[in-house]
Amino acid sequence: MSLRIAIAAGGSVPIHRQIADQVCRALAAGRLREGDQLPSVRALAEELVVNPNTVARAYADLVRDGVLEAQPGKGVFASRRRAVYTKAERLRRIAEPLDALVNQALIVGMRPAEIEEALSERLRRLDPGAGGHRER
Amino acid sequence: MSLRIAIAAGGSVPIHRQIADQVCRALAAGRLREGDQLPSVRALAEELVVNPNTVARAYADLVRDGVLEAQPGKGVFASRRRAVYTKAERLRRIAEPLDALVNQALIVGMRPAEIEEALSERLRRLDPGAGGHRER
Amino acid sequence: MSLRIAIAAGGSVPIHRQIADQVCRALAAGRLREGDQLPSVRALAEELVVNPNTVARAYADLVRDGVLEAQPGKGVFASRRRAVYTKAERLRRIAEPLDALVNQALIVGMRPAEIEEALSERLRRLDPGAGGHRER
Amino acid sequence: MSLRIAIAAGGSVPIHRQIADQVCRALAAGRLREGDQLPSVRALAEELVVNPNTVARAYADLVRDGVLEAQPGKGVFASRRRAVYTKAERLRRIAEPLDALVNQALIVGMRPAEIEEALSERLRRLDPGAGGHRER
DNA sequence: GTGGTCTAGACCACT
DNA sequence: GTGGTCTAGACCACC
């Protein structure tokens, strides 16, 4: 399965958010294309060893945001209308997590160069490979 | 003394975290210097229209991280000696917000180089001159 | 599972600190092992006849120090990977209780050798034959 | 004056406790002998740049414990009846700070050998000469 | 006046 | 059910 979703149970990020994020990333990386059908709620829940409610919640959030489309009786599909942001809009949308990162880094005493290095290292480990978080 | 702390009530970020973050930013920006006294728990609580407990928690968290020092009966002060972690521990402590940033950036369609540029720009705006020299 | 936590109400040590300390001791003594689930906040609060907030604070402090891990909706668990400080930071973090011990020992008339012996004896009683650190 | 009291303002130990502790240590080290007169509350307060109330509190606590004796109109003197503890009693009296030290050390990840080394180092930096007049 | 602790009770998000 | 947050109000120790 090309979704390659990994759940990090130890962290503080809600599981439904992790699923939603990684679906979006699969979409952005091209592993999931417009119109593709996603695994059923129950199938994905079983694969991830997670409560079906949690998967349903993730799908519902994405449908609400227009990322996915639900066709009752058929399944859930990647939406055909993908949002495209201007550069300014992209920057605005990452402003909050960016601030959070910088703040936390300053608290633990990191210098700017070290923060940039940490980001580079993190991006290097991305690839089309599995989703970011370590597994437990 | 104006720390210019603003609370975003609607957001999902806890109030005590918002306070702590903005104290750190004031420290990093030089608006708050080592040894400076912070507003009292009660005063800041009244100014922000927030429960004193919430401010106390923000302060307590920063004291635990070595950013502030509390002298009961006197007040709370910006610490001189910042806590020192090993590099591995520093990385561990920013892993979560770093992942959050990368996730969000990928979702909105940013490429690695653009993410790094956004971070650099953010850091440049933060740094008042790297060593105590402000105002150029 | 019995953590055998006992609260000394009359003393000057805060309750949340007593709880945190005894969780650490259970961890060091092997009564609590990595990955084990701890009693829920509400359950432990009821058992100790203490406000849930107080237990929550003890748990939260240990989570911040990397001793425990909290999974909202699931429970609190003993962490696998302990926080790592530099040696200097470790010394800084025990400086205060170390001074308190030496002060008290000198007050009651103990000589250095006797203090060291008391510590050795205390450590021996703590570590039941685990002739070293535990590794994963 | 041979009391050589030093106040650490940054720590969490109350100032009156610091004063009382160091009077006891001066007594244990022989720098202060039975029957000696102590500096007046106001004199010591001025010397330490501390509120007189704080010094008075320290003296009062020591009088209550029988370490000092107050002679109204004359001053405060080191008590002639110094308590002598059996070894078991000494151990009992340091049990609490000893536990606090061990707990904190375990939290920050120190191994037994490292804790003992830290104590030795701390003791080495002490005033030598219990019962003598040796000054540093 | 200051910070620190504890209680009580409420609400939220997650599973 | 779980943990997390916030409010309200009280009490304490310290300076």
pLDDT digits (tens, 9 = 90+) for B65-103: 888 999 888 899 998 766 567 787 788 888 888 988 998
From the alpha carbon of C7, which nucleotide's C1' atom is closest?
E6
pLDDT of residue D9: 66
pLDDT of residue A81: 66
What residues of chain C lie within 8 A of the CB of B83, using their CB? Answer: 89
Higher per-residue confidence, A80 vs D51: D51
> What tokens were used for C14?
């805060």
CA distance D3 to D27: 9
pLDDT of residue C130: 43
Task: Give the best-scoring range by mean pLDDT among C19-28, C34-43, D73-82.
Answer: C34-43
What's the mean pLDDT in C41-58?
Answer: 94
State chain C's mean pLDDT as an integer.
Answer: 84
CA distance A99 to A106: 11
**Structure confidence by residue, pLDDT tens digits, B23-59:** 988 887 788 888 899 999 999 999 999 999 999 999 9
Question: Chains meeting D at 3+ CB pairs closer than 8 A?
Answer: B, C
> What tokens were used for D23?
């009077």
pLDDT of residue C134: 42
What residues of chain D lie within 8 A of the CB of C91, using their CB? Answer: 118
In this complex, whether A and D touch, counting 3 or more CB pairs under 8 angstroms, is no
The residues close to strand E, meaning Cβ under 7 A, are A 14-17, 51, 53-54, 57; B 38, 40-43, 53, 56, 59-60, 63, 70-76; C 14-17, 50-54, 57, 71-74
Amino acid at A68: L
pLDDT of A18 above 90:
no
* Helix residue ranges per DSSP H, D30-136: 41-48, 52-64, 87-107, 112-124
CA distance B98 to A126: 13
What residues of chain B lie within 8 A of the CB of D17, using their CB? Answer: none
| Residue A83, min C-alpha distance to chain C (Å) | 32
User: What Å value separates CA D42 and C1' E1?
Assistant: 22
Tell which residue, A26, A119, C13, C40, has the closest CA to residue B98.
Answer: A119
Interface contact B72-D14, CB threshold 8 A: yes
> What tokens were used for A95?
């402003």
CA distance D94 to C118: 9
In this complex, whether D and C touch, counting 3 or more CB pairs under 8 angstroms, is yes
pLDDT of residue A12: 67
| Beta-carbon contacts of residue A112 (< 8 Å; ≥ 6 apart) | B123, B126, B127, B130
* Residue D8: closest C-alpha in chain B: B71
pLDDT of D27 above 90:
no
CA distance B39 to B61: 16
Give nucleotides in strand F with any atom < 7 A to a protein C-beta.
Answer: 1-10, 13-15
pLDDT of residue D50: 86
Task: Mark residue B109 as left, alpha or beta (left: phi above 0; alpha: psi -120 to 50; beta: remaining).
Answer: left
Secondary structure (3-state) at A51: coil
Q: What are phi and psi of B113, to 5 degrees?
A: -60, -35
**Structure confidence by residue, pLDDT tens digits, B110-134:** 889 999 999 999 999 876 544 333 3
Is C24 in contact with D109 (CB distance < 8 Å)?
Answer: no
Task: Report the nearest residue to nucleotide F4, CA vs C1'.
Answer: C72
Q: Looking at the complex, does the CB of residue B88 fall below 8 Å from at least one CB of chain C? A: yes
- Please count the residues of chain B: 136
Cα→Cα distances A45→A67, B46, C13, Å: 19, 47, 46
Enter the DSSP assignment of D34.
T
**Structure confidence by residue, pLDDT tens digits, A61-76:** 888 878 888 888 888 8
Q: What are phi and psi of A15, to 5 degrees?
A: -65, -40
User: What Å value separates CA A85 and C1' F1?
Assistant: 41
Interface contact D9-B70, CB threshold 8 A: no
Interface contact A25-B119, CB threshold 8 A: no
| Residue B13, min C-alpha distance to chain D (Å) | 28
pLDDT of A121 above 90:
yes
Q: How many CB atoms lie within 10 A of CB A130?
A: 13
Secondary structure (3-state) at C67: coil
Question: Chains meeting B at 3+ CB pairs closer than 8 A?
Answer: A, C, D
pLDDT of residue B85: 74
pLDDT of C122 above 90:
yes
What's the mean pLDDT in C101-105?
Answer: 88
Maximum Cα–Cα distance across chain C: 52
CA distance D88 to A3: 66
Chain centroid, CA D86 distance in Å: 20
Burial string for D38-72 (b: 16+ CB within 10 Å, else e) reads bbebeebbeebebeeebbbbbbbbbeeeebbbeee
D14 touches strand F (CB under 7 A): yes
Task: Give the best-scoring range by mean pLDDT among B105-114, C34-43, C78-87.
Answer: C34-43
> What tokens were used for B95?
């892993």
pLDDT of C38 above 90:
yes
| Residue B43, min C-alpha distance to chain A (Å) | 24
Question: Chains meeting C at 3+ CB pairs closer than 8 A?
Answer: A, B, D
Higher per-residue confidence, D69 vs A109: D69
> Looking at chain C from residue 22 to 81, which residues have their Cβ under 8 Å from any Cβ of chain D?
24-25, 27-28, 65, 67
**Structure confidence by residue, pLDDT tens digits, D92-104:** 989 888 988 998 8
pLDDT of C136 above 70:
no
What residues of chain D lie within 8 A of the CB of B69, using their CB? Answer: 10
| Residue C55, min C-alpha distance to chain A (Å) | 19
Interface contact D97-C100, CB threshold 8 A: yes
User: What Å value separates CA D127 and C1' F11?
Assistant: 40
Task: Report the nearest residue to nucleotide E5, CA vs C1'.
Answer: C14
Is A105 in contact with A115 (CB distance < 8 Å)?
Answer: yes
Q: Is residue C72 packed enough to be buried (19+ CB in 10 Å), middle (13-18) or exposed (0-12)?
A: exposed
Task: Report the nearest residue to nucleotide F12, CA vs C1'.
Answer: C12
pLDDT of residue C112: 93
pLDDT of residue C55: 96
CA distance B127 to B121: 10
Interface contact B71-D14, CB threshold 8 A: no
Tell which residue, C124, A20, B128, B110, has the closest CA to residue D102.
Answer: C124
pLDDT of D34 above 90:
no
| Residue D77, min C-alpha distance to chain B (Å) | 29
CA distance A55 to A60: 9
pLDDT of A100 above 50:
yes
pLDDT of residue C123: 92
CA distance A123 to A113: 15
**Structure confidence by residue, pLDDT tens digits, A19-46:** 888 888 888 777 888 888 999 888 888 8
Cα torsion angle, A119, A121, A127, A131, sign: negative
